[in-house]
């Protein structure tokens, strides 16, 4: 959040290009010229927002039990919505960020994701509880943002202003060797697909998406380069895996970009969004379908539904 806020206020004046891992499969000239996808897309508002930036909703996740959980960074709370748009639950979390469902069915949310935070970590809550309450399971990790959890319960935390995706074991200890090898600077969104961790990089004017093998983090490569430089830098935020492709949010351009992980080819699936911060595939949420519906949070405060096809 802090990087996007600074870059938005400063109008990208202070933004600089940083290290991006190389990959032979990337065609940067074609990737930077991102056209529109052929599919028809319908964007509708699930929940209206408030004053831009002051009603910043940072991330979201479906629990598969009929609830959509949303991190509201400015109000320092996590919100739970039913499929009819009703706000059914709230509880306090200081500077909530990435939020994900764990393999144990519990929900996990980063805390301390705010410009003034001096510490951070991960909290856990039971989405089935009548009144959910969050408890800390990881502490001492300032400067984090995105979150991914593998099948073994390991946490992966992105860091916008540091090198290395941080890996934390289920017992709360850090895997320093893995983190050192996953030496990508400025990661934001994280998504695990099989044995691969995909990450968007927000601090590079080339707007890359990278792939980090879970069993060989030093072998990370660039999947796609979505910008040609400073003038068209997308400020990539969160991403999700949907129907065989990656869906990547462009905070600056208000886009949802589809990226083929095998070829790096990209197209704009949806545009006209208002500073999108996260995207997730619908799961167990009323009439929403996993093969059709995506939900997106925005720094405008809105939550929108993107129906594809």
Structure confidence by residue, pLDDT tens digits, 105-163: 999 999 999 878 889 999 999 999 999 999 999 999 999 999 999 999 999 999 999 99
At residue 189, the 3 state secondary structure works out as strand
The continuous run of DSSP H or E covering 32 comes out as: helix 28-32
pLDDT tens readout for residues 56-76: 999 999 999 999 999 999 999
* Longest CA–CA separation in the chain, Å: 52
pLDDT in tens, 163-206: 999 999 999 999 999 999 999 999 999 999 999 999 999 999 99
pLDDT tens by residue, 270-303: 999 999 999 999 999 999 999 999 999 999 999 9
More confident residue, 183 or 29: 183
- What pLDDT, on the 0 to 100 scale, is given for residue 11? 37
Q: State both tokens at 118.
A: 């001096």
| pLDDT at res. 3 | 63
| Strands laid side by side in the 121-125 sheet | 99-101, 107-111, 121-125, 135-138
| pLDDT 10s digits, 209-245 | 999 999 999 999 999 999 999 999 999 999 999 999 9
CATH architecture observed for domain 41-308: 6 Propeller (2.120)
Predicted pLDDT of residue 15? 39
The two three-digit tokens of residue 27, written as one number: 């065609």
Q: Model pTM?
A: 0.91
Tokens of residue 136, six digits: 């800390």
pLDDT tens readout for residues 79-120: 999 999 999 999 999 999 999 999 999 999 999 998 788 899
Residue from 233, 187, 184 nearest 7 by CA: 233
- pLDDT at residue number 52: 87
pLDDT at 2 over 80: no
- Give 231's contacts (C-beta < 8 A, 6+ positions apart): none
Residue 218 CA to residue 225 CA, distance in Å, equals: 19
For 154, phi then psi, to 5°, come to -75, 140
Q: Which residues pair with 36 in a beta bridge?
A: 268
Confidence bin at 28 (pLDDT 50/70/90)? very low
Per-residue model confidence (pLDDT) at position 235: 97
Q: What's the rounded mean pLDDT across residues 251-263?
A: 98
Smallest CA-to-CA distance from 109 within 84, 86, 140, 78 is with 78
Q: What is the pLDDT of residue 118?
A: 86
CB 289 within 8 A of CB 307: no
Per-residue confidence (pLDDT) for residue 77, from 0 to 100: 98
Sorting pLDDT into bands at 50, 70 and 90, what band is 30?
very low
């Amino acid at each position: 959040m802090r990087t996007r806020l600074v870059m938005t206020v400063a109008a990208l004046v202070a933004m600089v290009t940083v290290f991006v891992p190389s990959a032979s499969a990337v065609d940067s000239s074609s990737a930077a010229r991102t056209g529109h996808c052929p599919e028809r897309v319908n964007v509708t508002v699930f929940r209206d927002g408030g004053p831009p930036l002051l009603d910043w909703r940072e991330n979201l996740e479906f629990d598969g039990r009929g609830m959509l959980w949303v991190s509201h960074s400015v109000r320092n709370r996590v919100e739970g919505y039913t499929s009819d748009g009703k706000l059914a639950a709230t509880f306090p979390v200081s500077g909530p960020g990435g939020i994900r469902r764990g393999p144990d069915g519990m929900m996990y949310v980063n805390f301390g994701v705010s410009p003034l935070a001096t510490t951070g970590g991960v909290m856990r809550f039971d989405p089935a509880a009548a009144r959910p309450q969050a408890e800390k399971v990881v502490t001492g990790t300032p400067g984090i943002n995105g979150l991914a959890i593998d099948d073994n319960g390991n946490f992966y935390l992105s860091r916008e202003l540091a090198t290395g995706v941080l890996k934390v074991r289920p017992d709360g200890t850090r895997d320093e060797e893995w983190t050192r090898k996953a030496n990508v600077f400025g990661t934001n969104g994280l998504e695990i697909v099989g044995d691969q961790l995909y990450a968007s990089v927000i601090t590079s004017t080339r707007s890359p998406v990278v792939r980090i093998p879970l069993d060989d983090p030093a072998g990370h490569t660039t999947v796609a380069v979505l910008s040609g430089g400073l003038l068209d830098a997308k400020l990539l935020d969160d991403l999700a895996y949907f129907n065989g492709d990656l869906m990547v949010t462009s905070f600056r351009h208000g886009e949802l970009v589809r990226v083929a992980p095998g070829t790096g080819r990209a197209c704009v699936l949806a545009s006209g969004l208002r500073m999108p911060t996260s995207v997730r595939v619908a799961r167990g949420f009323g009439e929403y379908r996993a093969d059709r519906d995506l939900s997106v949070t925005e720094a405008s405060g809105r939550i929108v539904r993107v129906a594809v096809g």
